[in-house]
Structure 1
């Protein structure tokens, strides 16, 4: 490859890097666009609006009902011995009905608060699930990009080693077996490269499906990023937070309260119903045989149920059984929420420890690879040793990349388990671990400097390998994210639920 081709290739590479740096989007942008594009989340928003109408509907059943009507009728009266009477009559009527005592309607009115609250909590849970999906998909694509970079670097390193082996083979310093082993390793690396490229394509399609658009690039995980810490640090505080505020637990709490009111409504069927009714009907006759008549009626009616064939008792027993089921489901949801929080807490701390261990392992394997290369040059190590050391280093580097992403996602999952995951938390994580300015464009001076030597290609490949190894090092300091609300002394509510719904949830916890 001549200098002109090398310069053209590097210029193309620099333009791609610069374009990606200019158009890269961060985690918060992806999450926001994902939630705006999510059709399922839009359906939950519409459902929440529909649930909010339960309260005015129930209130309307307690208010006066006024109806009016107008009509025109033809009357024909035939009486023996009396002349027949035929005339048209028209008039209008106004009727008013005011419930005075109807315990079933009043219970439905109390129940409407919880129906409205259920719609809001259901929407908040859907929003949190959408955020969690977007975060997971974002880091899946980053992991796929890093895996492809690792596969490219691994393939380039093996190609350099294979070229050196072939040169030594021509000089009589290497065997055919060494060359064949290196060729087999190169083919395996190329297979990994193809798999990584296919996986990246699938991850990009998944992110495109989630957000509705294709991005030129994603902001990388900063090399200076630190794994966030947890406040409070003990597991049971997080478990208690989840057991009290997990969205599924809140839904089951609302369902239990609704079931209790359903029992109350069923028992109300045994109580009397008192209504006040009034009507006013002015009427006029078109012929001269009947005089216009105006009727005004007012009545207080009492309806007392006496016997309905046992339907009321059966309905009460049914609602009692459904109340027991709602209570059992609440217990199961509470236990599951606590167990999930403990699991995510353990996963996150294990992920932090794994990142630290893999960071040290990558440094050790890099040093071992460099030492093996030196030993190979002086004749104390063989080609197979270099291949094994290269494979170990790049495998450890891959595991470290995956562990860093998995740890960040584990923190997001822990936040979701305690119903505290929202856009503010995403923005906080975005500031902690992402740095949009990490990518620096390649300048023309860099390219001109790169083409000074005819052997720039091999030097660039080896430098790329060393730089990739060095980039895997990361600080191990721990910083804290926003702590969850204290379990003792406060009763925090998710920000996505408004004040009216919070009052309904507060009344549930007072039961």
Structure 2
């Protein structure tokens, strides 16, 4: 897992540079999935917030360390012990306080260390979520583009069919019903094309929100590509499910780290009952002034003092006991959250496995459905030409072909996205996986 985090951090640094180049104008006409992710790394507000939170949380360790380091204060004063005689005392001092034993400060330092680990995990989780969000938005646009392409092809075919029926009607070779049927199919195809164009615009806007710049077109996933789920990944998911072991899942790691923080909170609150030992070293210089100085009221000179003090709290009105009880209850809540995170990870893994298994079978079935519907359309058109089929059979067959093609494209894309989601559940998702997806895509 450390290697995965290291690779992820390296990728984020490289993405920032490449994303800046893309923003400056060196972009692609049809960028791949990894290209779009690089744009999103630079622009995405959620990732930027997580990065700022991580940097802010890292300051907590500095603050906790400060409780263990010496504190040095300088003092200066002017007083008048006897105003009537105009006697005054001028003093300058330097004081150093060093905790020798402070159980609460030590515990707070340990808390800060855990908080930094927790902040890093949250940042890694946001970075992984950005990969899945970008992938989903990218394939939403891809599906919208393919649906539009199918709709445009169908509209063109229905228009030709309508024009032929109208021409045949004018010479008495077709009925008025044929003309109405073909015009109805053409109108419906036109309506589907308009809806598809609107879906493309919406998907472009969703991707623009992630990247901060327009992505008008993305690369396409050919229907003839054979997409097979990663067998090694599926075996890993099955083994993790059987052992109920999802230690690399970031949500589980976050919940576990929060539970560690809650346990440390109990130690911190219990430290309120312990004694503190502090060392104090001070040096002061006093100068007396006035017209009639009284040595009993003011005496000039230097004073150096070294002291070690121990403080033991005896009774705080029940505050300490209440804080300890609160910390224990919050620890119980955190333990329940760990169990819930593991159960959710197990459920997500099982769902992804089922989706991959049945998704592959569905893709194969839809690919055969496309072939059979194309063959039926060809037969229906031939049958209509020789008078064995009516025009409604041709219209229905053509609609079924485009529906089967659209369903196949959607199923193939869902298979790719499901594999990315399974990698995220297992804590294995990296930018390299997006590069592997790009190998399935081709420029339009």
Q: TM-score range by the shorter chain?
A: 0.7 to 0.9
**Larger CA deviation: 255-264 vs 371-380:** 371-380
SS in 2 for 1:233: helix
Structure-1 residue corresponding to 2:371: 363
Structure-2 residue corresponding to 1:77: 82
Shift of 1:341: 1.5
Q: How does 1:271-290 map to 2 (within 5 A)?
A: 271-287=274-290, 289=293, 290=295
Preserved contact between residue 229 and residue 356 of structure 2 (Cα < 8 Å)? no
Preserved contact between residue 242 and residue 419 of structure 1 (Cα < 8 Å)? no
Q: Specify which of 17, 37, 43 is matched with residue 31 of structure 1.
A: 37
Are 2:272 and 1:264 equivalent residues in the alignment?
A: no
Shift of 1:242: 7.1
Structure-2 residue corresponding to 1:312: 320
**Larger CA deviation: 304-313 vs 374-383:** 304-313
**Larger CA deviation: 242-251 vs 178-187:** 242-251
Shift of 1:316: 1.3
SS in 2 for 1:40: helix
| Number of residue-to-residue matches in the alignment | 410
Distance 1:177 1:415, change over 3 A: same
Partners of 1:69 and 1:303 in 2: CA distance: 24
Partners of 1:232 and 1:144 in 2: CA distance: 29
What is the TM-score when the length of structure 2 is the normalising length?
Answer: 0.88
SS in 1 for 2:221: coil
Distance 1:238 1:146, change over 3 A: farther
Shift of 1:357: 1.1
Preserved contact between residue 244 and residue 342 of structure 2 (Cα < 8 Å)? no
Distance 1:238 1:355, change over 3 A: farther
Structure-1 residue corresponding to 2:403: 395
Partners of 1:423 and 1:346 in 2: CA distance: 24
Shift of 1:226: 3.1
Partners of 1:189 and 1:409 in 2: CA distance: 29
Structure 1 gap ranges (5+):
1-20, 79-83, 440-511
Instruction: With a CA cutoff of 8 Å and minimum separation of 6, indicate the structure with the bigger relative contact order.
Output: 1
Structure-2 residue corresponding to 1:219: 219
Shift of 1:171: 3.0
Structure-1 residue corresponding to 2:163: 163
Partners of 1:351 and 1:210 in 2: CA distance: 28
Are 2:441 and 1:434 equivalent residues in the alignment?
A: yes
Structure-2 residue corresponding to 1:40: 46
Partners of 1:184 and 1:223 in 2: CA distance: 29
The CA deviation string for residues 360-400 of structure 1, in whole angstroms up to 9 with x for no partner, is 11011101111111111122111111111111111111111
Distance 1:313 1:245, change over 3 A: same
Structure-2 residue corresponding to 1:477: none
Are 2:138 and 1:149 equivalent residues in the alignment?
A: no
Structure-1 residue corresponding to 2:384: 376
**Larger CA deviation: 279-288 vs 221-230:** 221-230
Structure-1 residue corresponding to 2:336: 328
Distance 1:430 1:242, change over 3 A: farther
**Larger CA deviation: 58-67 vs 288-297:** 288-297
Preserved contact between residue 238 and residue 342 of structure 1 (Cα < 8 Å)? no
Distance 1:221 1:389, change over 3 A: same
Shift of 1:37: 0.5
Structure-2 residue corresponding to 1:340: 348
Preserved contact between residue 74 and residue 86 of structure 1 (Cα < 8 Å)? no
Structure-2 residue corresponding to 1:196: 196
The CA deviation string for residues 112-144 of structure 1, in whole angstroms up to 9 with x for no partner, is 111001111111111111221111111111111
Partners of 2:370 and 2:38 in 1: CA distance: 35
Distance 1:181 1:202, change over 3 A: same
Shift of 1:422: 2.5
Structure 2 gap ranges (5+):
1-26
Partners of 1:278 and 1:58 in 2: CA distance: 22
SS in 1 for 2:40: helix
Structure-1 residue corresponding to 2:87: 87
Preserved contact between residue 87 and residue 290 of structure 2 (Cα < 8 Å)? yes
Structure-2 residue corresponding to 1:117: 117
Structure-2 residue corresponding to 1:138: 138
Partners of 1:278 and 1:237 in 2: CA distance: 62
Partners of 1:207 and 1:66 in 2: CA distance: 54
Structure-2 residue corresponding to 1:349: 357
Structure-2 residue corresponding to 1:253: 256
Preserved contact between residue 348 and residue 410 of structure 1 (Cα < 8 Å)? yes
Preserved contact between residue 75 and residue 94 of structure 2 (Cα < 8 Å)? yes
Preserved contact between residue 36 and residue 134 of structure 2 (Cα < 8 Å)? yes
Shift of 1:216: 4.3
The CA deviation string for residues 35-87 of structure 1, in whole angstroms up to 9 with x for no partner, is 2111221111010011112222212211222222233x141416xxxxx5323
Partners of 1:110 and 1:419 in 2: CA distance: 26
Partners of 2:366 and 2:94 in 1: CA distance: 83
Partners of 1:102 and 1:367 in 2: CA distance: 83
Partners of 1:241 and 1:427 in 2: CA distance: 30
Partners of 2:199 and 2:47 in 1: CA distance: 27
The CA deviation string for residues 486-505 of structure 1, in whole angstroms up to 9 with x for no partner, is xxxxxxxxxxxxxxxxxxxx
SS in 2 for 1:100: strand
Structure-2 residue corresponding to 1:452: none
Preserved contact between residue 82 and residue 88 of structure 2 (Cα < 8 Å)? no
Preserved contact between residue 47 and residue 119 of structure 1 (Cα < 8 Å)? yes
What is the TM-score when the length of structure 1 is the normalising length?
Answer: 0.77
Shift of 1:329: 0.9
Shift of 1:22: 7.0
Preserved contact between residue 111 and residue 261 of structure 2 (Cα < 8 Å)? yes
